[in-house]
Structure formats: structure tokens, C-alpha cells
């Protein structure tokens, strides 16, 4: 080999070597290296947060590694950004366990992720140990209740959350707020039907969220869409037990932002109290909801498979009167299955507050004591029926006067 080609080769090797170093230079931090035990007894919260700070503050692309094990985490444990760049959390096989005592959660928080752009979270089971909490839950009566959700994703943008599990939360399982342009895929939620206020995913004030391929078994709403939910797509999600898919409740708090653009497709809802539901409080505060579409939904043994409820009042003791939330451009298409109450389609609107509602290609049959056909009930609505709907909605045109019907 002559001298020139030797030098060329050496330079070439050197460049390759440097490239490898640079490539592997992202911060990779294992929580065990920071003292986490993963024995289910030690409070691993401080070690996890410590490891997070190092990964998040280190050179990107960085990752936080949480090996399989059970990590007791005392509240609050909030993993905060902004980080230096994209960051991964690898938690496959890891379970985070909350202490059962509600008294320890004075801030209304357990685990949370805050202000992170380009997060990829894979795996992790959040076990809220909420069994003792459910029977004392008074949130239906008290708007200011501060129970901790299992996981709070707040201002997590351009991110992917996949293969995460949430078990027996004390309150909502996943609370997702301000997370624009984000994906939740293959989420599993597990809590019994009698768990109280345990919404699977509660969405608020964000623009662009896709939820796909998920299984949600819980005691309250499968997914609830709070004020400010914009451009949310839900596809291939299985719900039940629980209360079904709920837009709202809306009109409870001052200054609620519009709900706009919700597409729910190809979902199966089984053994739930409601199916496709849109709810706002009677009287309440002003707001709007528009462009809400349910399509291709199978309902099996669902209480009221299709329901618009403008007199939502879980405590049964609310002021009576029309809602102030204006709803428009909603559709229910290709929905089939069984209703466990006779009223399979209930469209109870306040006068002038349900505009441009389409029903198409629906077949819901009553499956319950006494048998007979399923029925519909309507108030203050004239839906447009484009393809046959069984039961026929709104006999008499649906122009009945406003009625107050308490429902849970
Ligand atoms: C959500 O899905 C829609 C329709 O498939 C797609 O256009 C959009 O880019 C997706 N959003 C994200 C954050 O991937
Ligand atoms: C409802 O749809 C109509 C026709 O597509 C559109 O002109 C109108 O702006 C929509 N209303 C709202 C509030 O989005
Ligand atoms: C509705 O579904 C029932 C039960 O599957 C079936 O017997 C009935 O023919 C269907 N009706 C229409 C109009 O498709
Ligand atoms: C409820 C429902 O419509 N499920 C369908 C969703 O899409 C898959 C594949 O496209 C079908 O196999 C399901 O039957």
C-alpha cells in the first residue's frame, strides 16, 4: 500500500469512528443507575425524576430507560421539559404503582409529563390502586374536586404514546391537555365497571390527536372530549364496561372553548350505560360544539346507544332550563347493534341548540325485559335522515317541548 492510500484509509476510518461516536452520543439514562430499585416497596419517584432530568437535559436524541419491575412512586412525580431535543421513554415491562391512600395526593396529581416536544413513550403500566377511593368519590356534586388522574400528559406536542396501560386509577386514567399533534396507540385501560369517575381518556384544549387500536374497560366514560377538543380522531377503539364515548360534559365552567372536529370511526362499544353521547349541563355556561361525527360503530348491550342530552345532571339536583351550549353539524352513521333500554335513540335538545344533525344507516334493536321494538325520543330537533334508521327517529318531527330528564 502506498503512503497516499494509507493516509486516505486512515482518514476514512477516523471519519467513520467519529460518526459512530456522534451517533451514540445521545444521553441514555437507566433509572436503576440513578438508584431506582423496582422492588415495589422503595419510593422510586426521586430516582426516576433524577434520571429524567439527566436524560432530558442531555444531548438528543436522548432516552430514559425503565427496565421491567414494579416501581412504587409517591406523588407527585412530574417529568418536565423542555428537553434538548427528541426524547424517548422506554418502559416496556415496567409497572408504576401509586400508594393507595388518597390523603397522600394533596396536589391532585400522581404521575405527569409536562412541556415536552417530540416525546416517544413506549410501554409502562400505571397502577393507581384506586379501589379504596371509588366509594368516597363526590366529584359529581363538587366541581372543584382534586382527585389525581393516573397519568397527566400536559403540553406534550408532536409526540407518540404507545403500548401504555392504565389500571385502577383513583380518578381519570389518562388526562391529556394541550397536547397538539399527538398519537395515542395501543392503549389498554383496565378498571371495573363500578369504579367511579375513572374516564379512560379525558381530552381538553388541544388541536390534533389520534387515538387508535385501544381497549378501554372502565367505570366512567371510555373517552370524554372536554372543552377545546379540536381535530380529534378515534379509530378502532373498543369500549366497555363504562359509560361509552362522550362529547362533554360541556357548559359547566366559565369560558369554555369550542369543541370542533371530532371523528369517531370503526369502534365497538359493549356493555356500557351509553354509546355515542353528546352531553351538556342544563342552564350552565355558554359554549359551542360542531363537526362531530360517529361512523361505523358496533353497539352490543348498550343503554342508550345514541344520545344527545342537553340536561346533563349526574347529581340529579340541577337547576332546570335549556343548555347554553350550541351544537351543530353532527352525524351518526352506520351504527348497528343492541340497546338494553327501549330508548335506543334519544335526542333531547334545548330549543334552537341542535342544528344540522344527520342520522344514516342505523339499526338498533331492543334486547331486554318485555321485548318489543326499540324506540326513539326527541325534543327540539329535526334530524336529517339520509339512509334508513331503525328505530325511526323523532316521530312527529321531534318538535316536542323541552323536558328535563335527569340521566347519569
Ligand atoms: C391523524 O390522522 C389523520 C387522518 O388519518 C392524519 O391526517 C393526521 O396526520 C394524523 N395525526 C397525527 C398526529 O399523526
Ligand atoms: C356547519 O356546516 C355548514 C355546511 O357544511 C357550514 O357552512 C357551517 O359553517 C358549519 N357550522 C359550524 C358551526 O361549523
Ligand atoms: C336490523 O337488525 C336486526 C337484527 O340483526 C335484523 O333482524 C333486521 O332485519 C335489521 N333491520 C334492517 C332494516 O336492517
Ligand atoms: C366495529 C367495526 O366496524 N370494526 C371493523 C374495523 O375495521 C376492521 C378492519 O378494517 C374490521 O375488521 C372491523 O370489523
Which one has a higher pLDDT value, 328 or 6?
328
What residue segments make up the domains of the chain, in order of their start? 29-404
Task: Using the predicted structure, report yes or no on whether residue 320 has a pLDDT greater than 60.
Answer: yes
Which one has a higher pLDDT value, 183 or 146?
183
Q: Is 186 touching ligand 1 by the criterion CB < 6 Å?
A: no
Give distance in angstroms: CA of 373 to centre of ligand 3: 11
Strand pairing report for 206-217 and 188-190: parallel
pLDDT of residue 405: 44
Q: Is 296 touching ligand 4 by the criterion CB < 6 Å?
A: yes
Average pLDDT of 13-30?
64
Give distance in angstroms: CA of 390 to centre of ligand 4: 21
What are 339's strand-pairing partners?
302, 366
Question: pLDDT by residue (tens digit) across 147-175?
Answer: 899 999 999 999 999 999 999 999 999 99
Query: 357: which 3 cell numbers?
Result: 344533525
Find the distance separating the first CA and the last CA of the chain, reported in whole Å.
Answer: 84
Contacts of 397 (CB under 8 A, 6+ apart): 382
Question: pLDDT by residue (tens digit) across 324-359?
Answer: 999 999 999 999 999 999 999 999 999 999 999 999
Query: How far is the C-alpha of 28 from the C-alpha of 326, rounded, in Å?
Result: 50
pLDDT of residue 394: 83
Average pLDDT of 65-80?
98
φ/ψ region of 122 (left if φ > 0, alpha if ψ in -120 to 50, else beta) reads beta
Q: Give me the architecture of the 29-404 domain, per CATH.
A: 3 Solenoid (2.160)
Question: pLDDT by residue (tens digit) across 193-217?
Answer: 999 999 999 999 999 999 999 999 9
Q: Is 181 touching ligand 1 by the criterion CB < 6 Å?
A: yes
Query: Residue 30: in which H helix or E strand, if any?
Result: strand 28-30
Give distance in angstroms: CA of 357 to centre of ligand 2: 11
DSSP-assigned letter for residue 18 = H
Residues framing ligand 3 (Cβ under 6 A): 363, 365, 388, 390
pLDDT of residue 6: 58
Q: Which residue has the cell 381535530?
A: 231
pLDDT of residue 398: 54
Query: How far is the C-alpha of 175 from the C-alpha of 202, rounded, in Å?
Result: 5
pLDDT of residue 276: 98
Amino acid at each position: 500500500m502506498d503512503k497516499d492510500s494509507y493516509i486516505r484509509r486512515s482518514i476514512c476510518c477516523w471519519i467513520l469512528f467519529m460518526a459512530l461516536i456522534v451517533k451514540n452520543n445521545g444521553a441514555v439514562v437507566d433509572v436503576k443507575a440513578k438508584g431506582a430499585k423496582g422492588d415495589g416497596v422503595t419510593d422510586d419517584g426521586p430516582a426516576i425524576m433524577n434520571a429524567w432530568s439527566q436524560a432530558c437535559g442531555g444531548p438528543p436524541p436522548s432516552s430514559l430507560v425503565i427496565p421491567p419491575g414494579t416501581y412504587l412512586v409517591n406523588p407527585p412525580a412530574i417529568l418536565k421539559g423542555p428537553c434538548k431535543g427528541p426524547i424517548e421513554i422506554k418502559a416496556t415491562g415496567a409497572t408504576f404503582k401509586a400508594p393507595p391512600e388518597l390523603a397522600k395526593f394533596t396536589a391532585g396529581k400522581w404521575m405527569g409529563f409536562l412541556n415536552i416536544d417530540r416525546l416517544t413513550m413506549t410501554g409502562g403500566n400505571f397502577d393507581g390502586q384506586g379501589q379504596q377511593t371509588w366509594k368516597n368519590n363526590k366529584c359529581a356534586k363538587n366541581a372543584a374536586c382534586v382527585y389525581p388522574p393516573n397519568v397527566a400528559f400536559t403540553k406534550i406536542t408532536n409526540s407518540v404514546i404507545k403500548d401504555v396501560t392504565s389500571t385502577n386509577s383513583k380518578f381519570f386514567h389518562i388526562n391529556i391537555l394541550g397536547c397538539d399533534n399527538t398519537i395515542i396507540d395501543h392503549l389498554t385501560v383496565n378498571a371495573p365497571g363500578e369504579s367511579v369517575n375513572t374516564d379512560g381518556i379525558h381530552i381538553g384544549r388541544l388541536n390534533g390527536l389520534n387515538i387508535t387500536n385501544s381497549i378501554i374497560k372502565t367505570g366512567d366514560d371510555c373517552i370524554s372530549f372536554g372543552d377545546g377538543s379540536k381535530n380529534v380522531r378515534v379509530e378502532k377503539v373498543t369500549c366497555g364496561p363504562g359509560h361509552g364515548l362522550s362529547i362533554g360534559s360541556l357548559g359547566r365552567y366559565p369560558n369554555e372553548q369550542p369543541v370542533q372536529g371530532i371523528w369517531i370511526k370503526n369502534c365497538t362499544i359493549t356493555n356500557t350505560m351509553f354509546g355515542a353521547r353528546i352531553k351538556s349541563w342544563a342552564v350552565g355556561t355558554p359554549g359551542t360544539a360542531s363537526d362531530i361525527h360517529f361512523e361505523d360503530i358496533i353497539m352490543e348491550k348498550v343503554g342508550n346507544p345514541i344520545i344527545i342530552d342537553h340536561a346533563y345532571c349526574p347529581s340529579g339536583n340541577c337547576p332546570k332550563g335549556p343548555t347554553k351550549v350550541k351544537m351543530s353539524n353532527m352525524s351518526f352513521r352506520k351504527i348497528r347493534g343492541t340497546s338494553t333500554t327501549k330508548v335506543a335513540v334519544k335526542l333531547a335538545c334545548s330549543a334552537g341548540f341542535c342544528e344540522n344533525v344527520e342520522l344514516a344507516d342505523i339499526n338498533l334493536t331492543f334486547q331486554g325485559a318485555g321485548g318489543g321494538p326499540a324506540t326513539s325520543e326527541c325534543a327540539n330537533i329535526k334530524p336529517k335522515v339520509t339512509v334508513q334508521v331503525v328505530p325511526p327517529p323523532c316521530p312527529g318531527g321531534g318538535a316536542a317541548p323541552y323536558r328535563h330528564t335527569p340521566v347519569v
